[in-house]
Amino acid sequence: MGGLSTEVRFRIRSFRFAFAGWWYVLRTQRNTWIHGAISIAVLVLAWWLRLSRQDWAILVLTITVVWMGEFANTAVEAVVDMTMPEPHPLAKVAKDVAAACVLIGALGAILVGLLILGPPLYERIK
């Protein structure tokens, strides 16, 4: 990276940090594999149903929200574990609320999936 500007090197390093975080979540969080399998299944189903561009956009945004919730939950858990090695009621609250964030995103994603995928899937298999 000798010829690259400092700004470009900084940006490349930022991406490396982000991908390291992504890999950490995939390696350490069992639920991410469930999210991954469901995300792929939804995208394959959307392709099979030949959904509109607008429906695709909504599905991609919805999937992204669930993944972001999972990543944020993992970050909160790491910070709480680092700062509160001994059990503390507020540490439990922080972890529970972060987990609820993922749950709310996942429940919302199920609803969005049913609303977008349900009618065309019903028509296809009817």
**Annotated active-site positions, please?**
70
46 and 113 in contact (C-beta within 8 Å)?
no
Burial 75-86 (b: 16+ CB within 10 A, else e): ebbeebeeeeee
Q: Outline where DSSP puts E strands in the chain.
A: none
Tell me the C-alpha distance between 14 and 20, whole Å.
Answer: 10
In whole angstroms, give the CA distance from residue 104 to residue 9: 38
